[in-house]
A = this chain, B = another copy of it.
């Protein structure tokens, strides 16, 4: 299965240590630029307050099946964690949409490193994406 970037993320996080453990705990803004050929698909996006961003973990190390999560001392199975060292290095992050200007979205809560490849934008739907119904 071949995956192609549909845009690029510009964020304040240049290297691994810069990014918050979860973007949710930062008010910093990131820009998501959708490539021109996909820009039409952004129509109506401004009606959505929250989005789920899928992006490529292009600088993650090779995958590991056992990891020690930050702040822990014991190894855990990878799939019980959000560690970036995954067989398919795809991250997801729920963000708040702040502004739409043409094919550029300004968002907060995104934890991507600067210049990460954008893979998809989905509307966040609380009735199916959350536990509380």
Contact = CB atoms under 8 A, between A and B. Distances in A.
By secondary structure, the A interface counts as mixed
Interface of A: 1-6, 22-24, 34, 38, 40-45, 47-50, 52, 54, 56, 58, 65-66, 76-82, 86-90, 92-94, 109, 117, 119-133
B88 A66 contact: no
B43 A77 contact: yes
Contacts of A123: 79-82
A122 B82 contact: yes
A90 B131 contact: no
Nearest to A127: B24
6 smallest CB-CB distances across A and B, nearest first, come from A43-B77, A41-B78, A44-B80, A41-B65, A79-B121, A40-B65
